[in-house]
Amino acid sequence: MTQDASQDTFISHLVELRTRLLRAVVAVLAVFVVLFIYPGPSAIYDMLAQPMLASLPEGTRMIATGVITPFMVPVKVTLLASFVLALPVVLYQAWAFVAPGLYRHEQRLALPLIASSTLLFLMGMAFCYFVVFGTVFHFIANFAPESITPAPDIEAYLSFVMTMFIAFGVTFEVPIAVILLVKSGIVTVQKLRSARGYVIVGAFIIAAVVTPPDVVSQFMLAVPLCLLFELGVLVASSLKKQEAQARDDDESDEDLDTDEIAPRND
């Protein structure tokens, strides 16, 4: 390939990347405009704050210490919600950009992995919102002294929520990571099973680092992490058995073809 041809190919890839990025951004902005109109940033933030509000004393509300915080924080939440809702389109654009450079068997593997990883990340966020937040906030509220009236700042609450969403979303990606490690040959299923004790200890260490300093939230992150690791090991083991069975079937077919051809050669 000449230098001009390689340069044209590079430029065409850049143009394709720009097109895919623009489509992804337009999808996010389109969803943002719809959410901004209805139900509106305030309603979306109220929905996000519901687990905290349910744990506060009656009549207590959250506060905003910044001048423009009451406007900017709901807008940020709406933008994040728009990205989550438009995530299928964003991931499809990423898939469409890299798919032409993949082999057929890689394409068959990549698309299910992208879909399952997206679903698992959203499941992690849902588990955090519907299960973890209510439990943790009620635990903290009951633990607080009666002389204290909790009044969380909305910007600090958003930062906490995003940290927890990311932590649980990434945690729910553990089965995908395990499958990729086994499929790529970096580790074997036997080694993962033998390292189960280290994984449990590591799960509680990670939970202690990324969650608030209370036992409840740490426990609620570490236990799903261990269970999802076991799920990933089971799925990876099943996939390895299917691959071994497929190789055995191919070898059996080749042996049969050889036996059929041999008499004719005599």
* Residue 3: per-residue pLDDT: 61
* Residue 56: per-residue pLDDT: 86
Average confidence (pLDDT) per 10 residues, the chain, 266 residues: 65 88 96 95 94 87 90 95 91 84 74 85 93 88 81 91 91 90 86 90 89 81 92 88 73 58 52
Secondary-structure breakdown of the chain: helix, strand, coil percentages, each rounded to the nearest 5: 85, 0, 15
pTM summary value: 0.82
What are the two backbone dihedrals, phi and then psi, of residue 130, each rounded to the nearest 5 degrees?
Answer: -85, -25
CA pair distance 84, 90, nearest whole angstrom? 9
Number of neighbouring beta carbons within 10 Å of residue 95: 16
* Residue 79: per-residue pLDDT: 95
Closest CA to 48 of 141, 130, 163, 167: 130
Supply the angle between the helices 174-183 and 104-127 in degrees, to the nearest 10.
160
DSSP class of residue 57? Answer: P
Cβ contacts of 78-83, under 8 Å, gap ≥ 24: 78/32, 78/35, 78/36, 78/41, 78/44, 78/45, 79/28, 79/32, 80/162, 81/35, 81/44, 82/28, 82/29, 82/31, 82/32, 82/35, 83/28
* Residue 126: per-residue pLDDT: 94
